[in-house]
Structures are given as structure tokens and as C-alpha cells.
A and B are shown apart, each in its own frame.
Chain A
């Protein structure tokens, strides 16, 4: 049982490269500036709402889901969207993810227990319009 040896050294090198690469990729995923961000909210894999987050200077919030499917409270203000308030999931990671939508924070908010997802995408088409009928 030993830590050195040719095979081991090669393995540690590979691990080091993967580690560095994942950090670089993570940095770019975490800091991806998106023009005209729009938030898409999915519940159970179905798109339920598209929000033009930069339209709202004043904070507003709403809830998604039922006690059966799990409730998440979503808040929007100044081009940012986040989960907080009365969110009934045990892990609360969706809350800890924090604000997304501005400062290049475009990592999706994911609440696995409630099957909720908030994605930031570029909304070029929608922004040129006054409204979308749907």
C-alpha cells in the first residue's frame, strides 16, 4: 500500500487537471453575462411563467405550487429574481442560491424536492415588444 508509484502520479496529475478544469468551467457558468435577461420558471418540467425581470423596479413576490407539490415563494426586483419567504422545502438550497439575473449570475435556481427551476435566458425577441399575448 503506497501513495507514490508511476501509475499513482499519473492519476494525481489527471485529478489535478480535472479539478482545475472544473473550476474554470464553473467560473464561466457562474459569471455568464446575458443580455436582456428573462426568467423562465418551470414546475414539474413545464414552463409556467416567463418574467421580464428588468421591468420591475419595485419588489413583487408570488408563490408557485400547492402544499402537495411544494410551495416556493419567488421574488423579483431590479432585474434580479430569487426564492425566499414561505418556501416549504427541507434543504432550502433554492433559497441559499440567492439572487440571480444580474451581475452575471445566471446559474439556474433549482429546488429538487419541489421540482421547481428558474432559468435565466436571453430574451432578445421579447424585449423589443410591448407585450406577448399567450
Chain B
């Protein structure tokens, strides 16, 4: 894996952006959500990197994810939240990769929704494991609905980034 200065800087920038989104997201009150669970808006960065192409590979997305959850854990001092975010983020990354490969016509919102659902499934599974209880799954339908909305939102956001700002995409090393 070769990193030039530009890519290294961009990777760090992506991690920082993901972290900011992650922190802002934690402030949004969601009365129906299960504690410790997030909608997964920070996945937008993973999604963007997956679709950039060019010199950007899945492993870069993984690296950004790892840096983001590690920093979040350091900032909040909460190891539990680390486990939850990592499980959700990793599962989202894996599922997005798989769905992207299955649907060869690069449907960003669809991939994004699949990622958001996987993200919530990963977190709820962690919560059930941690609580030693299956009651957490009572919240699953709410999180599926929420995941679809947030997945569509992040999906269309990335889609319009590609469509309206091809120069920017080119600048950060993605294929046009």
C-alpha cells in the first residue's frame, strides 16, 4: 500500500470528518432509539470512499473507520461505545462491499441503505450480547425504519456529491 502526502492527508481528513459527524450524531436526541445505538450517519464517509474508485480501495475505508472509532473511544473514554461502533461500522462496510459487487450498476442509495441496516443489525447484536438478553430486538423494527431513512439520506448525499461536483471528486483522486 503506497501513500503519497496528498492521499495521507485526505485519509486523515476523512477520518476527522467521520469523527465530527459521529460526535454531532451522538447529540441528536432520538426518543425511540436504544441507548448506545446510532443511526450511522458517519457511514457516509465509508460509502464515499467505496465509490471513489481510482487509488481508493476498501482497505482505505477500513482504515478511516478504525481511526474514527478509536478516536471516538479516546474522546468519550467509553470502551463499550467503541465495541458498538466498531461492530456496526465493520458490518456496514462488509455488507456495502458485497451489495456493491452484487449490483454492478453502482446504485449508491441502495448500497447505502444496505450498509445502514447492517450497521444497526451489528449494533443491536452487540447490545443483545452485552445485555445477555434478546429484549433489545424489540427495537429492531424501529431501527430498520430509521436505518432506511438515514441510509437513503446518506446515499443521496453521496450520489449528488458525485453528480454535481465531479471536479471535487477528481481532485480527491476518484475517477470522474
Contacts and interface: CB of A to CB of B under 8 A. Distances in A.
- Decide if A and B touch, CB cutoff 8 A: yes
Interface of A: 1-3, 5, 7-8, 11-12, 15, 18-19, 22-23, 25-26, 29, 42, 44-45, 89-94, 96-98, 107-108, 110-113, 115, 117, 119
B145 interface: yes
Nearest to B108: A1
Contacts of A18: 144, 148
Given A96-B31, A110-B35, A45 B132 contact: yes
Contacts of B36: 91, 112-113
Contacts of B152: 15
A108 B137 CA distance: 10
Contacts of A11: 103, 107, 110
Nearest to B163: A1
B25 to A, nearest CB: 12
Query: Looking at chain A's contact residues, is the secondary structure mostly helix, strand, loop, or mixed?
Result: mixed
B139 interface: yes
Contact of B107 (A7, A22, A23, A42): A7
Contacts of B136: 108, 110, 112
Contacts of A94: 35
Interface in B33-74: 33-37
A117 B137 CA distance: 13
B108 to A, nearest CB: 7
Given A25-B141, A112-B131, A19 B148 contact: yes
21 contacts: A3-B107, A3-B159, A5-B105, A11-B103, A18-B148, A19-B145, A22-B140, A91-B35, A91-B36, A93-B34, A97-B31, A110-B35, A110-B131, A110-B136, A111-B35, A112-B34, A112-B36, A112-B37, A112-B136, A115-B131, A117-B135
Interface string B123-141: 0000100111101101111
A8 B148 contact: no
B14 interface: no
Q: What 5 A-B pairs are tightest by C-beta distance, nearest first?
A: A45-B132, A93-B35, A26-B141, A22-B144, A91-B35
Contacts of B159: 1, 3
B145 A26 contact: yes
Contacts of B133: 42, 45, 117
B33 A93 contact: yes
Given A8-B103, A15-B113, A119-B135, 6 more contacts: A1-B108, A15-B148, A26-B145, A92-B35, A94-B35, A97-B31
B109 to A, nearest CB: 7
B28 to A, nearest CB: 12
A22 B110 contact: no
B131 A22 contact: no
Nearest to A115: B131
A29 B142 CA distance: 10
